[in-house]
Each structure stands twice: as structure tokens, then as C-alpha cells.
Structure 1
């Protein structure tokens, strides 16, 4: 018995439109739909796939979807499943990015973003605390997190360098002090009961296409490399190597290999590159993009589509009749090169990495990197707080209203355990309220 490809594609398409709530929420939906309701895969096989995806850089929920699609319907099944998980979010974000640039200066829309920015600051700090509680379980990892925070906050080291240093510390620590670098589960245990036989059950043999072979590894590696080289070649041929779109391609390729720990882990790197180095967008625009990413389905890392769209649109505002399509190209380039490595890791690295799963020599560097990510995310939260609370710099006035909204958003997240969407909605309403009150007073 097997699931027809057409039926599977219907589900993956539906999933792309309902996958809100970040990776934890998306994985919970996948578990409920595939393990409990449809019985396409057993509890143990689902958790095995999840643990594997958690070892990889990249958006783990999207990789889990790709993995299960690959297990069920070979390479094309995985590619289609992973693509359909991302595609709705890409289309929605392109539309929202255009609306943002076209109507963002309309007073009431600007007021909404004014209210959302403090909430984003609280959400990023909440992410740092949440990831820290999940991953930092001893004193050594606390020191690594603190060291990464100081490295980027005080020394302004580049995020890739911090990741490399953390990996080296993990390799050394895993050999010298292995008890400090044992990996823990990132999403907790998913409780399940025996629900009857599944199509891919505990004792179902691994299908032939999912077993390791040198021929398949070389073939899939060559295909992945071709899928990287051809678009890069076309972009360089049309625009030149030192222009925007090849830069986007190379930048987001590097970003894709640095996303250990989920989307929030790569945000500091994207922030450093897009805002500080390339100046594709401002700090405030980056926060607005994160807000839009939080309110759309799909992986949070889809904020890269917003960055790509703004970079293309803004750079072609002068001398072009319709910069919209340059923005669309930027969004597509950013998305393509961010997610291509994820498909590579599943289709090529799956059988290889599965054989190393649970070996400390492999997992210790990832544990150290995840601890590093906590410190880097905390630094990002402080940067956001600086730009929100002191919008005109140290010499300007403090935005007390933003501090109040941020405090209330933090209270809702930390104490009341509210979700991201209600917090963003309430903060947007607060921004509107402030705008209407200020209008009445004036």
C-alpha cells in the first residue's frame, strides 16, 4: 500500500498555506496530520527523520517535509514537497513587500509598523531565551554563548567566523570533555500512542532509493551543483559579477550553510550583510520584514524573500518604469539560493548523515554552534532595541511609547505564553491607537 503522488501533492500544497507558528508549530502540524490522522508514517520513523533534520543547517520543518516526500516518492517527491512548502510564502511575501514599499508611508500603515517594531524586539529576545533553555544545559555552553555575544557585540566579529570558532571549540570539547557536549532534543518529545499500522511503519524496510550509494551521491551532487552554477552564470552574464543579483546569490548561499539552530540563527548574519555591509535595506526595514515573515505561512527564514525584493526594487527605482519585476527577481534569487542547499542535504547527505547520527564527534560541534547562536541572537535583540528605543541615535530622544509596547509584548510572550501572531496583532493595534490619539491631540 502506498500514497498516490497526486494525493500527497494536494496535502503538501495545503500545508504550504497553513504552516504558521514557526518550526515548532509546523512540526506539530506535520505530526498530527501524518502520524496521527493519515498514518503515512509511524511515530518512530517520524522522530528519526526529525532528529536527522535537526542536525542539518537550514529550516528543519521544510527539510522534514522534503525528507518524508523523498522517502515516499523518491527524489521528485521530496523536491515537490519541499517546494510546495515554501512557494505560497514566497508569493505572499512578494505581494506584501510591494504593498510595504508602495504604501508604507501612508500614515496609518506606518503606525502599524511603528507598533510592530517593539514587538519584534521582544520576539527576538524571547527566541534567544527559548533556544537557550532548550540547548544550554551546562556551564560550558553558557560560557560559549556569552563568548559569542561579546565577540559580536564588542569585537564586531563576522557571524561566519564566530560559527567556525564555535565548531572548533566543539570538536576540541567533544574529545576532551564529552559530558558537556552531549546533544539534547530541540523540540522536546512528541508524545504519541500506538495508532495502528502506518504506510511507512517501524519495521518497513528503507526503500532502495533512500539507501546510500556512491553513484546516486555523485549524480545528485552534480545535479545540485548544476542548479547552482547555471543560475549564477545567467545572473553574471546578464548583470555582471559585482552587481546586485550575483551578490544576492553568493550571500544567501553562504547564509544557507550557517542556519544551525533555525531561522533566528541566521538572522544576525543576514542583518550584518544586508544592513551593515551591502546596505540593501535599513535596520527598520529589516525589522518590518521580520514582522511580515512572522505573519505569513512557511519557514520564518522566508524573510530572505523580503530582503531580496527590497534590494531589487529599491536599486532599480531610478531610470526604470517598473521596479516591481526587479524586486521579484531579487526575491526569487534570495529564495532559490537559500533553499537549494536544503534539498542537497536531504537528497545527497541523508544516507551519509544518518550513518553518523548520535556520534559525538559529529554532534559536539553542532551543540557548540547552537550555544553560540543564543548569544548572537541576544545581540541582535539589543541592536533592534537600540534602533526602536532610540530612533534618532544616542543624541536623540527616547521613544517611551515603543518601550511600553515592547514591555507589554514581552509580558505576553514570557508570562502569558501568547503566540507570535496575537502579539503582533495587539502591537499593531497599539501603534494605530497611538497614531489616532496623537492626531486628535494635534
Structure 2
């Protein structure tokens, strides 16, 4: 756990010297950089982490990274933030996990809070709308790039490609729930892994030998945790993090009552934190329905505005819940100034949304690490990652439709259910911006930050010239 140390076994020597070990203090700027570049939803965030942690820094091997990602996709909550927490824990114990996971969220907390203030005070301000108009095109290109990047890494056999394709069809055309897709893929991978099929090995397929990746990495395939968690340690970690999560909820209920807006926020988003499989998009409809129709916290359409804020700021897309909590308390301030009430509501929402994420990682990661050599489990997790590629592709298509077209119409044909764009609602300037962003990213290999800056500037310019409203 916090005192866990790493040691290299004698599986095989690294072909070259491994990178110099880093201290937690030296790792902080790298985690801060990852956090500042974490745009574009889970696909883009995972791609950024992979590029920096695996390709640039050589802190963790390809297979080790994918193993951690496979586990995080099984958990409720934002998989990218949990992946950062997992890798931070691997490198520097509990303190490293808190730093990596906390920093991953911090820029989004600040950005969403600032934008929530602007939204509450000024609404759809023209220049801000132009900024978001441009940023959406950039995010679309970044997500498309990330889907391809993750797909190349994870889909290394025909079986994995087939699973990703089936996953996309299931969720895009058949509206199959995300948990069903995950469980089905996991069962298929478990059977394939138990049978020893190479297509279901981590990094396997196309004749892969299944050899370990010897590095050079700080955390290569042959790195093992010297100390595994005991039952007592697990129960201790569970008690500490459950208390950090639930004691504030109990205090809120005791001080202001369960019927207050803060009590409703604490209970509702705590329950949501336990069932948010599939990320922000998977729970968007449910949260929107509850926030608009049941609680009356948001007006129709404002949930999409909040999602737009989360899409165009660093951090997990589930940060949209902070916007919901802010607006709920802003409009029901009680005896507090509305902005102060909104700030407290947003921060409470963020706490009960993300505190459970650390609990899942710190309790589960030691056991998942112990099972890294388990073939059936490795096969199940690899198959789940392949299925998630299909789910992320579905999200990319969803986002593209809602970026380029002003209106999308649901259509049902027998068992098939899909959203079709209303062609007459095509926004030519949004399309042009998206194409330009795609060309910049794929043809000229523009980075995330330059693409975001260029597109946002173009959006503001289009607004100032009156071309877009």
C-alpha cells in the first residue's frame, strides 16, 4: 500500500539501461502537465497519458499500462482519472496516487467553477459562445485522433477488432447497455484466455509470442510489488476512504437536513458515483432527467451547455456534475448569497463524485496487480478494453453529430435504434472548423494545445464578424 516498494525480478534483462528513478516531487510537474492537457474526454485523456507515461517518460510499459486501463474500465467513475491514480500508486504508493489523481481533477474543478460563475451571471455571452464554438471543433479532432491511437494499441488481433466492432454496433445501433457489453466481452475474453488463445493475450495477436516487454521502463512487465495487501490492510484502507467519502455526506444531512439542496446533492451524486459505468455520456441522460424533471435544478437544454463546458476544459467529462451541483445550489441558495451557495454546491458535488474513485483504486489495485499473470483474467481485461474502444468510437460519432448538426432525430427500424442528423440543420461553419482541425491534427500533426488555441481563436473571430451567432 503506501509503503509498497518495487523490485525487478530476474525474468530477463533490459536491453538498455532503464530510465532514472524519479521521486514524487519530480513526478508532480509531469502529472500537472498531463492534467493541463487532458482535453477531449476519456479517449483523448488516455491517449495523452499513454504518450507521456509510456512513449516519452518510459515510466510504465505498454502491457502494464493496458492492464491498468483494463481494470479502470470496469470501475464506476472516470476511467482516465482512475488510471492516473493507479499509475501514481504504482510508482509512489498512496501518496503518489493521491497526487496523480488529485492533480488530474484540479484544473477541471477550477475551470468549471469559473465558467459556472460566468454562466450563472451572464448566460450565453456572445464571445464565450464563439469560444466554445471553436473549441468543439478542436475537441472533435482530438477525440478522433485518440480513438485511432488507442485502437492501434489495443486491437492487435482479429478477435479484438471483432469485439470492438461488435461493441460499436451493440451500443450505437441496438442501444445495448454498457454494463452488458462489458460483461459479455469479459466472458468471451476469459474463455479465450483460459484456452490459451494468443488473440486474447495482452499485446497478443498476429503471431505475437507473448513475451514480456523488457523495457527500458521504470515499471516494466517484470516489475512486481514486493508487498501485497493483507486482509487487514485492505479493511483499513476501505474504512479510511469510505469515511472520507461518507462522513461529509453524514455531516451535511445532520446540519441542513436531507430535504435541503445540499442534502439532495450529497445523496444523489453519492449514489451516482456507484453506478456511473461507462463515463459521463453513459449517465448524461439519467442525470439530465433527474436534474431537470425530478429536482428542477436545470432548465431544458442546460445540461448540454454544462456538457459543453466539460468538453472544452481539462479534466474528466464527469465534471459536468459540478456544473449541475453549482446551478442547483445557485437557484436554491437558502439564506446564502447565490454565488456562494453555488460554489459550495459545486464543490460538494465534486467531492462525492471523486472521493469514491480513490477508494476503488486503493482497495482493488493490489489484488489486480497480484493477478497480472493470470491468463483468464488477462484475457477478460484485454477483451473489455477492445469493447471499450468500440464504445469510445460511439461517443466520438455522437459528439460529431451534435457538433456539426444543430438537430438530430432518433429513428427506430425494428431492433435498430440510432440518431440520424437532420441534414437541413447542417452548420457549414462548424463542419469547416472540424475539417480544418482534423487536417491540422492528422496531416500536420499539430499538438493538442495549438489546435485548441487556433480553433478557439477562429470561433471568437467568427462571432466578432457576425458570421456565427
Say yes or no: TM over 0.5: yes
Deviations 1:308-367 (A, max 9, x none): 221022223435364434443454344434443443355333432222113221122221
Q: Do the aligned partners of residues 124 and 419 (structure 1) sit closer, same or farther apart at CA in structure 2, a change above 3 Å counting?
A: same
2:232 maps to 215
1:343 maps to 358
1:144 corresponds to 2:163: yes
Indicate conservation of the 8 Å contact 1:308/1:332, yes or no: no
1:225 corresponds to 2:239: no
Higher helix fraction (1 or 2)? 1
Q: How far apart are the structure 2 equivalents of 1:165 and 1:48? A: 22
Q: How far apart are the structure 2 equivalents of 1:390 and 1:47? A: 38
Aligned residues: 399
Indicate conservation of the 8 Å contact 1:103/1:109, yes or no: no
1:285 to 285, 296, 306: 306
Q: How far apart are the structure 2 equivalents of 1:304 and 1:179? A: 36
- Report how far residue 414 of structure 1 moved: 2.1
Q: How far apart are the structure 1 equivalents of 2:66 and 2:423? A: 49
Indicate conservation of the 8 Å contact 1:217/1:348, yes or no: yes
Indicate conservation of the 8 Å contact 1:65/1:85, yes or no: no
- Report how far residue 89 of structure 1 moved: 4.6
1:165 to 181, 184, 187: 184
Q: CA RMSD in A?
A: 3.9
Q: How far apart are the structure 2 equivalents of 1:419 and 1:98? A: 30
Q: Do the aligned partners of residues 428 and 204 (structure 1) sit closer, same or farther apart at CA in structure 2, a change above 3 Å counting?
A: closer
2:390 maps to 375
1:174 corresponds to 2:193: yes
Moved more, 164-173 or 326-335: 326-335
- Report how far residue 384 of structure 1 moved: 1.8
Q: How far apart are the structure 2 equivalents of 1:362 and 1:416? A: 40
- Report how far residue 65 of structure 1 moved: 1.9
Q: How far apart are the structure 2 equivalents of 1:352 and 1:268? A: 29
- Report how far residue 375 of structure 1 moved: 1.7
2:406 maps to 391
2:347 maps to 332
- Report how far residue 244 of structure 1 moved: 3.5
Q: How far apart are the structure 1 equivalents of 2:248 and 2:429? A: 46
Moved more, 398-407 or 143-152: 143-152
1:408 to 426, 433, 436: 436
Unaligned runs of 5+ in 2: 4-21, 38-44, 73-78, 205-211, 293-297, 409-421
Q: Do the aligned partners of residues 138 and 50 (structure 1) sit closer, same or farther apart at CA in structure 2, a change above 3 Å counting?
A: closer
Q: How far apart are the structure 2 equivalents of 1:351 and 1:181? A: 23
Indicate conservation of the 8 Å contact 2:168/2:391, yes or no: yes
2:266 to 219, 223, 245: 245
Indicate conservation of the 8 Å contact 2:404/2:430, yes or no: yes
Q: Do the aligned partners of residues 226 and 373 (structure 1) sit closer, same or farther apart at CA in structure 2, a change above 3 Å counting?
A: same
Moved more, 334-343 or 132-141: 334-343
1:361 corresponds to 2:376: yes
1:99 corresponds to 2:125: no
Moved more, 331-340 or 406-415: 331-340
1:65 maps to 88
Q: How far apart are the structure 2 equivalents of 1:205 and 1:178? A: 25
Q: Do the aligned partners of residues 410 and 272 (structure 1) sit closer, same or farther apart at CA in structure 2, a change above 3 Å counting?
A: farther
Indicate conservation of the 8 Å contact 2:265/2:349, yes or no: no
Indicate conservation of the 8 Å contact 1:309/1:328, yes or no: no
- Report how far residue 395 of structure 1 moved: 7.5
Q: Do the aligned partners of residues 275 and 384 (structure 1) sit closer, same or farther apart at CA in structure 2, a change above 3 Å counting?
A: farther
1:75-154 aligned within 5 A? 75=94, 78-79=97-98, 82-84=101-103, 86-87=105-106, 89-103=108-122, 105-154=124-173
Indicate conservation of the 8 Å contact 2:214/2:222, yes or no: no
1:318 to 304, 325, 331: 331
Q: How far apart are the structure 2 equivalents of 1:27 and 1:332? A: 29
User: Which secondary structure does the structure 2 equivalent of 1:292 belong to?
Assistant: coil
2:7 maps to none
Q: Do the aligned partners of residues 113 and 13 (structure 1) sit closer, same or farther apart at CA in structure 2, a change above 3 Å counting?
A: same
Indicate conservation of the 8 Å contact 2:69/2:385, yes or no: no
Q: How far apart are the structure 2 equivalents of 1:357 and 1:201? A: 12
1:268 to 281, 284, 292: 281
- Report how far residue 213 of structure 1 moved: 2.0
Moved more, 118-127 or 130-139: 118-127
2:465 maps to 437
1:46-65 aligned within 5 A? 50=65, 53-57=68-72, 58=79, 59=81, 60-65=83-88
Deviations 1:188-212 (A, max 9, x none): 989649xxxx9x99999966xx433
Unaligned runs of 5+ in 1: 36-42, 259-264, 294-299
Q: Do the aligned partners of residues 372 and 283 (structure 1) sit closer, same or farther apart at CA in structure 2, a change above 3 Å counting?
A: farther
